[in-house]
């Protein structure tokens, strides 16, 4: 067993050792990396545009993903930096992307030092993050599914606060604040 582990480690280490062809850009790893940097946008339905995807466009996007056999990556975020990183990656490698807010992530966006006894920091942070996505998603040129993460029964006040904010947003703007809630 020890010999097998040692052989594996030596073999793995050899992959990083310089060779006579060091600097030549024709290795399988390098070619795969270069291929991955090319945009590979899935064929999206005409209803799906850059920005937050909601309503029928969301249904069309999910149907297209199912029909074409691709997954929409979803990332739990904790700040504008992780939101931007997700959208940047989607723009670089081929969107769409699902930006997912958790109760804790929302609180982190608002500030972990804030009182969160009634979920006010989690609600405010999640709303702020959602508004950030609405403001910049079109600039990245990618469709974004804006989603909330799993919610246990004890956390329903957080979702209730988000639903109230979504209703207010819809009444004012004519479109939902979020794409979906889990």
Domain that residue 62 falls in: 42-181
Q: What is the mean pLDDT of residues 150-163?
A: 92
The reply to whether 3 falls in a domain is no
Number of structural domains, the chain?
1
Q: Tell me: the pLDDT tens digits for 59-91?
A: 999 999 999 999 999 999 999 999 999 999 999
Q: Tell me the whole-structure pTM to 2 decimals.
A: 0.76
Query: How many other C-beta atoms lie within 10 A of the C-beta of residue 102?
Result: 20
Q: CB-based burial of residue 26 (10 Å sphere; 0-12 exposed, 13-18 middle, 19+ buried)? A: exposed
Identify whether 149 is a catalytic site residue.
yes
The reply to whether 32 falls in a domain is no
Give yes or no for a contact between 112 and 143, defined as CB atoms under 8 angstroms apart.
no
Backbone angles phi, psi at 79, to 5 degrees: 180, 175
The reply to whether 125 falls in a domain is yes
CA 90 to each of CA 11, 93, 169: distance values in angstroms, whole numbers, following the listed order: 34, 5, 26
CATH number at residue 67: 3.20.20.70
Catalytic member of 117, 119, 149, 160: 149
Q: Tell me: the pLDDT tens digits for 103-144?
A: 999 999 999 999 999 999 999 999 999 999 999 999 999 999
């Amino acid at each position: 067993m020890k010999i097998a582990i040692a052989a594996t480690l030596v073999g793995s280490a050899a992959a990083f050792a310089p060779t006579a062809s060091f600097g030549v850009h024709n290795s399988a790893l390098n070619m795969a990396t270069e291929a991955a940097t090319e945009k590979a946008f899935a064929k999206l339905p005409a209803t799906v545009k850059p920005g937050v995807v909601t309503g029928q466009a969301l249904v069309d996007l999910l149907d297209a993903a199912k029909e074409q056999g691709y997954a929409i990556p979803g990332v739990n975020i904790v700040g504008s930096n992780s939101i931007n990183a997700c959208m940047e990656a989607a723009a670089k490698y081929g969107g769409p992307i699902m930006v997912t807010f958790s109760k804790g992530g929302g609180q982190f966006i608002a500030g972990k030092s804030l009182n969160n006894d009634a979920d006010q920091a989690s609600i405010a942070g999640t709303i702020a993050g959602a508004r950030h996505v609405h403001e910049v998603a079109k600039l990245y040129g990618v469709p974004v599914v804006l989603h909330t993460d799993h919610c246990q029964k004890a956390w329903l006040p957080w979702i209730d606060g988000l639903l109230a904010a979504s209703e207010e947003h819809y009444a004012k703007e004519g479109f939902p604040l979020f794409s979906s809630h889990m």
